[in-house]
Amino acid sequence: MFKKNLSLLLAGILTISCLTAGCGNNSGNGGESPAAGNGDSQAAATETGKADEAASGEVITLTFFDKNTGDAFDNPVAQAITEKTGIKIEVQQPTGNPEEKLNLMLASGDLPDIVLMDRRSDIVNKYIAAGALVPLNDLIDQYGADIQEMYGDILNKSRYEDGKNYYLNNWYGLDPDPDRAFCIRMDVLKELGYGEKAEKGEAFTQDEFRDILSRFKETYKDADGQSAIPLTSNADYMPSVLSTFKAMYGMKNYYEKDGKLYFDVRDPDYLEMVKYMNGLYRDGLLDKEWAVNKEQIFTQKAGSGRVAATVGLSSDGNRLLKEDNGEDTDKQFYMFKVVADGVDPDKTTFSPRSSLGWDAIGITVKNEHPVETIKFMNFLASEEGQYLLMWGIEGKDWDMEDGKHVPRPETLQGFKDDWNTFAKETGIRKWTWFIKNGYGSDGTPYDLATKYERDAVSTHALTSMANSTWDTAPYDYIGPAAGTPEALSEQKIKDIIDTAFTNMVYADSEEQVVSLYDAMISEIDANQASGIEAVYTEKYNEQLALWK
């Protein structure tokens, strides 16, 4: 089956890979493609054939392609994993583009035992369609009790169109931390009379936000000899800028009406949002260079003292302020909701997150030890495995006190001193596989390094941005298939929308905003927007039906 499916994809995949990677002698000479047949039955047959070897107690070495790391699996956490599971990992990682390497491995049939891919990429479906991944359902039913407990409904939502699971998600579950916001300097808020409200983490209305920006502009006209910039943004992250303004109105990826999905620009609130942004721009409250600021320029502006507020993550603008003023001062950007008129603050959408995570980790048909591999996966996915991966070794890196995980001071300090070196040497947070966002049964976070100790800004954000995280998973994979005429039309429509968005914000009047908006709608309609929206609706409904 693998060979048959592979032959259909080989020419296209290999041609694309060669064009992008510059193939020499890599065109299919990596070894014979493994025969697959039915994945579940293959796993059973392999289990029988390798039972004696597994039962001998010898360590089994598995090759693991991880697009994120290529370091040797030999640090203390790695050794503890091998002791617990009887599995040693030989990590494979590309020196170039991971997706090119994945395409070449699929085309040649030279597959690793385990593969980690970007879950949102088309490469996952290519591997499934080619029969390169083993269905995991039977293996999980027999050997994956911890997987079932930890993943829960995520398994149901990650099924392929045939109803089977071909991978386990990585970094799954909704991350509780705020993702983006309107970031306003706390010292400015206090000076302008908003200190009590700001310290409580209360939301600001759109009129209050405008008042803050206007008064800052007047008060700080000549800050450091230069004119004030009430609000600026990092144009390198324009999708985050747009989604932050959309969040004021509770808008999501698409406009949903009567069970159908449409481009978000059809949402009546979209036009109101652009009018609001345009008003800020025309009144000199939005940086004239908001749409062209590169990251370095944005960072310099944000740290100059000339800026009252930014759009996105607070950390984007706080680096220089921390260097100048120290840690945990009020001379930093804090995260806040700004809420449009008539919108419930709890209905805003400032933190779009997918509960289905970032990566897909699957067992390939090349793997001769599927049972031992799923047991290995089951351990790492368990709560015990998560704490080993993310906290290290009990009695060395952390201790259990009164029923709670407590990190040793030197563990926390190690991440502060040199994150990369500490992770590499100890293995803590080095092998980020089957990671679950959130908290363990004792209330401590799985992600020790980023969530156990918090600075003043991130602690405040847990209050100020509460109840604004929402799950984008229902909208995953509902666009046209890559390379199809519909996909080309979709991209053209998105380009039209992106250009119009910038032009509308820069418009000379509100009347011009409306005129540009109407022209944009006419142009996307002329480019078959309704057909693309029909694809969205169909795939969206199919996906929801599959989840039932």
Q: pLDDT digits over 493-530, tens only? A: 999 999 999 999 999 999 999 999 999 999 999 999 99
Name the pairing type of β-strands 114-118 and 60-66: parallel
Q: Choose among 547, 500, 507: nearest CA to 525.
A: 500
- Measured CA to CA in angstroms, residue 384 lies from 146, 387, 409 at distances of 10, 5, 21
The pair of three-digit structure tokens given for residue 335, joined into one six-digit string: 């995260």
Instruction: Please give the residue that has the higher pLDDT: either 36 or 479.
Output: 479
User: What percentage of the chain exceeds 90 in pLDDT?
Assistant: 79
Sign of the Cα pseudo-torsion (469, 117, 450, 300, in order)? negative
Q: pLDDT digits over 374-414, tens only? A: 999 999 999 999 999 999 999 999 999 999 999 999 999 99
Q: pLDDT digits over 194-244, tens only? A: 999 999 999 999 999 999 999 999 988 765 667 899 999 999 999 999 999
pLDDT band at 372 (very low <50, low <70, confident <90, very high): very high
106 neighbors 33 (Cβ within 8 angstroms): no
- Residue 3: the pLDDT is 47
CA distance 403 to 315: 33
361 neighbors 130 (Cβ within 8 angstroms): no
- Residue 136: the pLDDT is 99
Q: What is the mean pLDDT of the chain?
A: 89
Q: Is a pLDDT exceeding 60 seen at residue 539?
A: yes
- Residue 327: the pLDDT is 75
- Residue 8: the pLDDT is 44
Q: Is a pLDDT exceeding 90 seen at residue 70?
A: no
Q: Is a pLDDT exceeding 90 seen at residue 68?
A: no
User: What percentage of the chain exceeds 70 in pLDDT?
Assistant: 89
Q: pLDDT digits over 435-478, tens only? A: 999 999 999 999 999 999 999 999 999 999 999 899 999 999 89
140 neighbors 148 (Cβ within 8 angstroms): yes
Q: What are phi and psi of 128, to 5 degrees?
A: -65, -45
For the ranges 80-84, 189-193, 312-316, 355-359, the lowest mean pLDDT is seen at 312-316
Q: Is 54 exposed, middle or buried (0-12, 13-18, 19+ CB in 10 A)?
A: middle
Indicate the angle between helix axes 370-381 and 39-49, nearest 10 degrees: 100
Instruction: Say how many C-beta atoms besides its own lie within 10 A of residue 139's C-beta.
Output: 25
- Residue 4: the pLDDT is 46
pTM of the model: 0.85
Q: pLDDT digits over 514-524, tens only? A: 999 999 999 99
425 neighbors 72 (Cβ within 8 angstroms): no
- Which helix H or strand E contains 110, and what residues bound it? none
- Residue 192: the pLDDT is 97
pLDDT band at 2 (very low <50, low <70, confident <90, very high): low
Q: Is a pLDDT exceeding 90 seen at residue 328?
A: no
- The DSSP secondary structure of 242-289, one letter per residue, reads HHHHHHTTT--SEEEETTEEEEGGGSHHHHHHHHHHHHHHHTT-B-TT
**Looking at the domain 2-28+38-174+360-393, which fold is it?**
D-Maltodextrin-Binding Protein; domain 2 (3.40.190)
- Residue 16: the pLDDT is 41
For the ranges 56-65, 207-216, 221-230, 282-291, the lowest mean pLDDT is seen at 221-230
| Locus of tokens 């000076």 | 191
Q: pLDDT digits over 103-156, tens only? A: 999 999 999 999 999 998 889 999 999 999 999 999 999 999 999 999 999 999
- Residue 1: the pLDDT is 52
